[in-house]
Amino acid sequence: MKRKIPYPNIKYYTFAKEKDFLLESGEYFGPITVAYETFGTLNENKDNAIFVIHALTGDTHVTGDYDPDNTTPGWWDTLVGKNKAIDTEKYFIICANYFGGCMGTTSPSSIDPETGKEYGLKFPMFTVTDMVKVQKELIDYLGIKKLKCIIGGSLGGMLTLEWNVLYPDMMENSIIIAAAHKTSPQIIAFYEVGRNAILSDPNFNNGDYYNGNFPERGLAIARMVAHITYLSKGAIESKFGRDIKRDILETDQMYGIFGPMFQVESYLRYQGRKFVSRFDANSYLYLTKAMDMYDMTRGKNRLNDIVAKFKSRILIVTFTSDWHFSPQESWEIVKALMNEDKEVTYVNIDSPYGHDAFLLKNEELEKVIKSFLSNHKDNDKEEA
């Protein structure tokens, strides 16, 4: 099953054509193509660019405001677009698909030029550091010396942190939303169950399934398991409770008596089916593993020592009911930044929607981001 890239404004940049991109593993890889979209206009000084980093299974289409028929919603239409908190009339917005993702950037589903077949599990293992270095290649290609801001949520927030580790001079501002400096053992456990569901699917075929039957059931189960971590207990209670499906007494053709009885079961299976239609199982394996492996301290450094090198002005946002990346985990980063006298703003937003809250419409989040960007240091120049 091939992923379709329907976005009219998508662009591509290819580099490392000589297979000379050095991965953190020590392996050289290439060529690498990056799929990306831009929204708004880059000014003459090239100093109004904001790099938006999507979450685990996102893509380049952060806003639908520039679609010819406005038929494809952007995944962050609530925040990014014309006259919105991240204003595309004022800023030049860049959003790129991850290295290893399946929405146009080189990944396990891409064709290996040496074999003429999809890479599959022959694709090299990569890390968050590698993903950021690929993004840096794109920003350099666009001729941008310094980003006005870099912003990301969840895994995107981890990449935003890693940008500050690797390239502290590359951004004036950083916004990290619903993220942590490392993945907790509990979340690693959930993703491991999901990966095992994919690997155990009879159609997985050791990752070589592109010309045969797709491992749909395994990927759907993986998504169901992960989706539970994106919700809060309160959100599930209020949205579904113990409501029974109206047709519970009818025969379920696929599952028989073990078909979905409760509304929450039906919802999770719907999310699984929907996900299978747009994502690649191999990409899911690689990206979740990269997320699990990430530790900004590299497992041996003090968090204070790492953030001491940060130079950007930082906003960290959390949500009270998020247990995927809890407020306490982000607070560790905030404390380390304060200990090193860094300029950091922390906001913990009261929301019942769990980890998914950063993707939903939230007026408080919109106001916080808009205020943070508008109170930039450059405004001081007008007073001089």
Q: pLDDT tens, 142-170?
A: 999 999 999 999 999 999 999 999 999 99
Topology alike, domains 11-183+296-383 and 188-287: no
> What pLDDT band is residue 67 in, cutting at 50, 70 and 90?
confident
> What pLDDT band is residue 3 in, cutting at 50, 70 and 90?
low
Residue 255 has pLDDT above 80, yes or no: no
Catalytic residue among 107, 154, 312, 321: 154
Mean pLDDT of 229-245: 86
At the top level of CATH, the class of 188-287 is mainly alpha
- Residue 314 CA to residue 95 CA, distance in Å, equals 20
Would you state the pLDDT for residue 257? Answer: 65
Structure tokens of 113?
């030029």
Active site residue 280: no
Active site residue 61: no
Fold of 11-183+296-383: Rossmann fold (3.40.50)
Structure tokens of 267?
């919802």
Active site residue 356: no
Would you state the pLDDT for residue 204? Answer: 98
> What pLDDT band is residue 294 in, cutting at 50, 70 and 90?
very high
Residue 293 has pLDDT above 50, yes or no: yes
CB 62 within 8 A of CB 75: yes
Mean pLDDT of 372-384: 60
Domain ranges of the chain: 11-183+296-383, 188-287
CB 54 within 8 A of CB 5: no
Residue 377 has pLDDT above 60, yes or no: no
- Residue 369 CA to residue 361 CA, distance in Å, equals 13
Q: What is the pTM of this model?
A: 0.93
Q: What is the DSSP code string of 165-228?
A: HH-TTSEEEEEEES--SB--HHHHHHHHHHHHHHHTSTT-GGG--TTS---HHHHHHHHHHHHH
Catalytic residue among 61, 181, 324, 355: 355
DSSP-derived 3-state class of residue 239: helix
Would you state the pLDDT for residue 383? Answer: 37
Mean pLDDT of 108-115: 97
Catalytic residue among 322, 330, 351, 356: 322
